[in-house]
Amino acid sequence: MPALPGKSQQPLKDPILSEPSTCMSPKAQRPLTVLHLETGRHLYGGALQVYYLIHGSARLGLRNLLICPEGSRIQAAVRDLAHVLPVRYRGELDPRLGIATIAAIRRHRPDLVHVHSRRGADWWGGAAARRTGVPAIISRRVDNPEPSRLGRGKYRLFDRVISISQGIRRVLVNAGVPAAKIVCVPSGIPVAAEPAACDRSEFLAAFGLPPDAFTVAVVAQLIPRKGHRFLIQALPAILSRCPTTHLLFFGRGPAEADLQRRCAAAGLSDRVRFAGFRPDVRRFLPCIEVVAHPATMEGLGIALLEAAAARRPLVAAAVGGIPEIVLDGETGLLVPPGEPQALAAAVIRLLSDPDLRARLGRRGRELVQQRFSIRAMVAGNLAVYTDLLGEARCPRPAA
């Protein structure tokens, strides 16, 4: 994770965003003002993307307002970058979110409203913008389908829908959202000039691994749709060909106890490490041979971007937006979802071929630098803003 306000590291820097300029509003030549709604309480996933967007757009002269839950991590993270309007509310049916949004629009007169999450923000934010006559955008980050009637009703409240992958775009079109309304703007991550080096001894000590260990890691919440169980089912076949293999599961979630039971029942507990949530996971990625993502549903896959930026070869299921990161045979290997045998074969192929791992890792990093940088994400969102408002004076940073 990049440095955030209140942390000891240096602040996030991006050369294309380092020089402030001015994005002017069509209204009275004042800075373009955007009211963001983000209801996540933790600073990862979608909320972290909102932080990156506010950080980057503020450097380009935008005036950002943020409605977020009181006490959330993003509230503290953007306090020097945006005017924060914390709200105390109880879940997606609580009308206080809508009331607060209407009040913010009337007081601060934003040029547009950008809704970044669900949990009620989609309905309340869209309805508030519609009631006050302000253009509205919603970002869609997940690929789980919605009933067509629900989708058509909700997305009618918005002038544009930003999908973070073409996979999500297809889900939206299938739900009845007009294709002309949808713009694909992939998520972005900060990419260091060079990936960190592997400190092998520290890595082995941190996770209690033997010196000859080959490691396959999954970086994801421990929830059923992330597919950890398929990698556990694939492990015996992997061990038959690569006997020093160990699995590392980074993350927490309600499926942890079930996954541990599966490992115990298969006699694999000594080969699977449940590493928990590690905010410093980037530090260990260079030491991992293969990063796997056997999900059954995935909007895009930030963990895959992080791994590719560290030059790690990828094995992942061909679902959602994953094939936009894992280019089969180029940045990693794709397998059908829910098929442990195919997953095992792909992992064995990579563990057995260090040259292939190196080639896929190099190309993966190049892809992230080209398509999934923070600068590209900020540029894409600003392009949607200026297209919607018909405003040509806001600079568009090069992707």
Domains in the chain and their CATH numbers? 15-190+373-389 (3.40.50.2000), 200-371 (3.40.50.2000)
Per-residue pLDDT tens digits for 3-33 = 454 333 333 444 334 444 456 665 656 789 9
CB atoms within 10 A of CB 110: 23
* pLDDT tens-place values along the chain, 399 residues long: 344 543 333 334 443 344 444 566 656 567 899 999 999 888 888 999 999 999 999 999 999 999 999 999 999 999 999 999 999 988 777 889 999 999 999 999 999 999 997 777 889 999 999 999 999 999 999 888 777 676 678 899 999 999 999 999 999 998 889 999 999 999 999 998 888 899 999 999 999 999 999 999 999 999 999 999 999 999 999 999 999 999 999 999 999 999 999 999 999 999 999 999 998 999 999 999 999 999 999 999 999 999 999 999 999 999 999 999 999 999 999 999 999 999 999 999 999 999 999 999 999 999 999 999 999 999 999 999 999 998 544 544 443
CA of 46: how far to CAs of 212, 303, 338, in Å?
37, 13, 26
Amino acid present at 347: V
Structure-token pair, residue 92: 């997606």
Amino acid present at 393: R
Helix/strand/coil for 256 = helix
Residue 163: which H helix or E strand, with range? Answer: strand 160-163
Q: Tell me the C-alpha distance between 227 and 297, whole Å.
A: 9
Q: Tell me the C-alpha distance between 85 and 108, whole Å.
A: 11
Q: Tell me the C-alpha distance between 117 and 240, whole Å.
A: 44
Say which residues have a Cβ less than 8 Å from residue 367's Cβ, sequence separation at least 6.
308, 325, 327, 331
Amino acid present at 292: A
Contact status, residue 56 vs residue 380, Cβ threshold 8 Å: no
Contact status, residue 125 vs residue 105, Cβ threshold 8 Å: no
pTM metric for this prediction? 0.84
Angle at 33 between CA 385 and CA 51, to 5 degrees: 80
